[in-house]
Amino acid sequence: MRVAGVILLAAVSACTAPAGERAGAASPGDVAAAARARMVAQQIAARGVTDPAVLRAMRTVPRHEFVPAKLRDDAYADRPLPIGHGQTISQPYVVALMTELAGVKPGDRVLEIGTGSGYQAAVLAELGAQVRSIEIVAPLAQGAAETLRRLGYDRVQVRHGDGYRGWPEAAPFDAIVVTAAPPEVPAALVAQLAPGGRLVIPVGTGEQELRLLVRTPSGIETRRSVPVRFVPMVGGP
């Protein structure tokens, strides 16, 4: 199935006439949409992500546009992929899980630390959030900003810098999603949470755990979640 899709994508990109105009041929968009539907059913819903808005966003964002061209055929596989500079785009399930934990509603102000490819930022924007994202590797920040602009994700602002400090001028945030692992939760990020705000963050060195911190009327509540493995958060307070 996947091999057929790969051949079709390659063949179509070499043609002048769009495949959809030829009777009976699936367009590249249809092939990718079918791959996303399978990804959501088999990798994400099957592992317990239930939020319909998150599942819809994961079915919508063209993940293959966020991976290096030579890895496009693997874009919907059940694993992280290298995006250059020693960094990775997270496994689809992990993106969906973090997005669900972030509890994003339309109009929310959301901060992401670790833009990478821009994929997680696009998923957050697809939920109707105003997204700001910080990336410490300049070429990744620039590449992600270009991809997001090309795909029409105008609700995402990317900044090159060190996410340890957060984005104080734009705080407070309804949700903060951190996609690189610091050894401890950065205090500046907790400080930039709005009342009811949620911080989703992998914490630890080597073995990490994905934590959800919520700012409640009685203070910060921490709920531990699943073991995960992210690239380390570099830079520092």
Q: Does 119 participate in binding ligand SAH (rule CB under 6 A)?
A: yes
Q: Does 88 participate in binding ligand SAH (rule CB under 6 A)?
A: yes
Q: Which is nearer to ligand SAH, 163 or 197 (CB)?
A: 163
Phi-psi region of 204 (alpha: psi -120 to 50; beta: other; left: phi over 0): left
Four-point Cα dihedral 181, 182, 185, 188, nearest 10: -110
Q: Does 158 participate in binding ligand SAH (rule CB under 6 A)?
A: no
CA distance between the termini of the chain: 48
Nearest residue to 112 via CA among 82, 148, 63, 81: 148
What is the rounded CA–CA span in Å between residue 174 and residue 153? 19
> Residue 106 is which amino acid?
P
Residue 133 among the catalytic residues: no
Distance of closest approach, residue 161 Cβ to ligand SAH, in angstroms? 7
Q: What part of residues 166-205 is at the interface with ligand SAH (CB under 6 A)? A: 179-180
Q: Does 162 participate in binding ligand SAH (rule CB under 6 A)?
A: yes
Q: Which is nearer to ligand SAH, 26 or 99 (CB)?
A: 99
Whether the Cβ atoms of residue 120 and residue 90 lie closer than 8 Å to each other: yes
Q: Does 140 participate in binding ligand SAH (rule CB under 6 A)?
A: yes
- In this chain, which of 9, 55, 137, 145 binds ligand SAH, going by CB under 6 A? 137
Which residues make up the interface to ligand SAH (CB under 6 A)?
Answer: 87-90, 113-114, 116-117, 119-120, 134-137, 140, 162-164, 179-180, 231, 233-235
- Residues recognised as catalytic: 90
